[in-house]
Amino acid sequence: MNKKQVHILVVDDEFGIREGCKRALSEDGYQVDSANDGSAGLQKINKRSYDLILVDLMMPGINGLKLIKKVQKIDSEIILIVITGYATIESAIEATKSGAYDYLPKPFTPDDLRTVVKRGLEKRNLRLEALQLYKEREQRLLELTNEKSRLQTIIRCMADGVLVINLQGQLVLWNVSAVKMLHLTGTDKSGLSLEHYIKNKSVIKSLKQILDSQDSDCSMMTREIEVDKKGSVLMAKIAPILDKKNRILGTVTVLSDITKLKEIDKIKSQFVSMVAHEIRAPLAAIEGWLEVVLSDESREDNTQNKKWLNRAKERSHALLDLVNDLLTINRMEAGKIAQKMETVKISDIINKIVEFLMPEAQKKNISFKIHIPKDLAVIQADKADMEKLFTNLINNAIKYNKKNGKIIITVKKDESYITTRIEDTGVGISSKNIQHIFDDFFRVEDETTEKISGTGLGLTIAKRIVDSHLGKIEVKSELGKGSVFSIFLPYSPKKKKRM
């Protein structure tokens, strides 16, 4: 402590003592004040703070003992030293009991004074330091509590499940997400074994396996845990909690629900293997036909060979269609082709497609009836999409129609939609199959359709186009009689982006 900043007060009714003390202590560099009785002393003490006060016990008015008690109340950290004659040594001891730090018997030398003051000030420093440390500790504890509550709030709000397990395998901390994911029970108490909270034995087993295999070198490990028979899958990330000496105190487990991802992954691999099969089958057929020709199964019958080569060509053409459809779907999914919304006349598109597909229809002697009102409003749509949509649907109406069949196309408008009905007199779709017709690669396969080729993606694409225009597609059908596809398209879909 810098001496200049140390303030000492001498309270004594004897002028000699006051001046003597003042001189001796000032020489040492302390700031010294004096008062000639108790009440004057109190006034000074109330005005500023002192580090040390020398008090004479025997004073008129407020005596030393009273003063000590009062000062104690004002600031218990001020060091009080009692100055006393031999006669009052007992009261000096009394004063020490009431809080005075030490006493100085009269008469005393300046050195006696210095020693006592120095010791007193050292004591004061120690006390102040202790007080400071105490305050800091309080502050830290407060911060710790805040930190803890902040941490708990963060953990509570997490969508991922959190479990903290100690070395004894007891669950000491968890959050609501973990309760939901693992169906934890009995969470009103903490610190019990895992079995108390988790009823599913296989989950406990896999958790324990992960915990047991944990060693201090490994910073984190990841495992999948199957929770229930419904197929929920959790991704568990487990990390050890280490102390300063790298000893394991317990483990933190963070659980994320990856059930959806797993499903998507499964759908994706199913799609890939379906595509692979759908492509391999026609390729194998093409090669089969080529093989028959090349190994001269026809015995040099060129007409026969030509027939077989034509069969191969039909399959390769169908394969090309399939690849094109797959590319269309891929572009739609990746959003690679932005839709170009423009004013489209449905009637123009339908007439154009019917004209284009007429040769196919004529092969089966199919007739068209088209009802489109002249004042039909235009719609905002992507022209290429619309052409693809109606080509797929009208093409189906031809392909799945009977010989001498009919196709009736009716376009109507109401308040918000333009409705197109495409009705055929074809083979129809059974109620069992009708729910699947918009699925990828789904094709009705029976005697009635075995001669008809298709990719199984035409209606998938049609539905996606209609969806992307915020429209609706419906189908009604009667087996053996025909099908009706209704397409509802809004005049101007607000959404510009595809899906």
Binding site for other proteins (CB under 8 A): 273, 276-277, 279-281, 283-285, 287-289, 291-292, 295, 297, 299, 308, 311, 315, 445, 447, 450-451
Closer of 283 and 499 to other proteins (Cβ): 283
Closer of 288 and 493 to other proteins (Cβ): 288
Closer of 207 and 286 to other proteins (Cβ): 286
Nearby residues of 77 by Cβ (< 8 Å), 6 or more positions away: 124, 127, 128, 131
Closer of 24 and 286 to other proteins (Cβ): 286
Closer of 143 and 291 to other proteins (Cβ): 291
Q: How far apart are CA 235 and CA 177, in angstroms?
A: 13
Closer of 90 and 447 to other proteins (Cβ): 447
Closer of 69 and 306 to other proteins (Cβ): 306
Q: How far apart are CA 153 and CA 130, in angstroms?
A: 34
